[in-house]
């Protein structure tokens, strides 16, 4: 990566364990596609005063040569995002799928249809 990884926690205390998991997942993305220019991660607690039922939102912002990939899963639709690690998994899995598509396109492996 050309620029350092940026991890931001909003409405919650920074967690070294969550940061370590984020660093692992970003390293997986870099092994898959090594031309990532920058990566910004936002971990947000939607209801910071609740003890139970707090939903987490994770936003992954990847800048690539010629494209930007932004993934943000809405926690209101998934109550599984009461666990920050599940929210991380879902967001990074979606970012990896989009990154795979971009890598396939950049290598020219996308099937094209001939015009009749």
Structure-model confidence comparison of residues 65 and 79, the more confident one: 65
Domain parsing of the chain, residue ranges: 6-107
What's the average model confidence in pLDDT over 78-102? 87
Determine whether 4 is exposed, middle or buried from the number of CB atoms within 10 Å of its CB (0-12, 13-18, 19+): exposed
Give the predicted TM-score (pTM) of the model.
Answer: 0.84
pLDDT value of residue 55: 85
**How high is the mean pLDDT of the chain?**
86
What's the average model confidence in pLDDT over 63-77? 83
CA angle (12 as vertex; 38, 80 as ends), nearest 5? 85
pLDDT value of residue 105: 85
Selected from 1.10.540.10, 3.30.160.100, 2.60.40.2550, 3.40.50.2300, the CATH number assigned to the domain covering 6-107 reads: 3.30.160.100
CA angle (99 as vertex; 11, 97 as ends), nearest 5? 80
What's the average model confidence in pLDDT over 43-54? 73
Instruction: Name the token pair of 14.
Output: 């920074």
């Amino acid at each position: 990566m050309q620029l350092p990884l940026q991890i931001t926690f909003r409405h919650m205390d920074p967690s070294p364990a969550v940061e370590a998991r984020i660093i692992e997942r970003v390293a997986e993305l870099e092994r898959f596609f090594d031309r990532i220019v920058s990566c910004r991660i936002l971990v947000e607690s939607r209801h910071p005063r609740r003890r139970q039922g707090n939903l987490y939102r994770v936003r992954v912002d990847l800048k690539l040569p010629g494209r930007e990939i932004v993934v943000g899963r809405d926690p209101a639709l998934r109550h599984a995002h009461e666990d920050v690690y599940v929210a991380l998994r879902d967001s990074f899995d979606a970012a990896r799928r989009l990154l795979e598509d971009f890598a396939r396109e950049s290598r020219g492996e996308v099937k094209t249809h001939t015009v009749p």
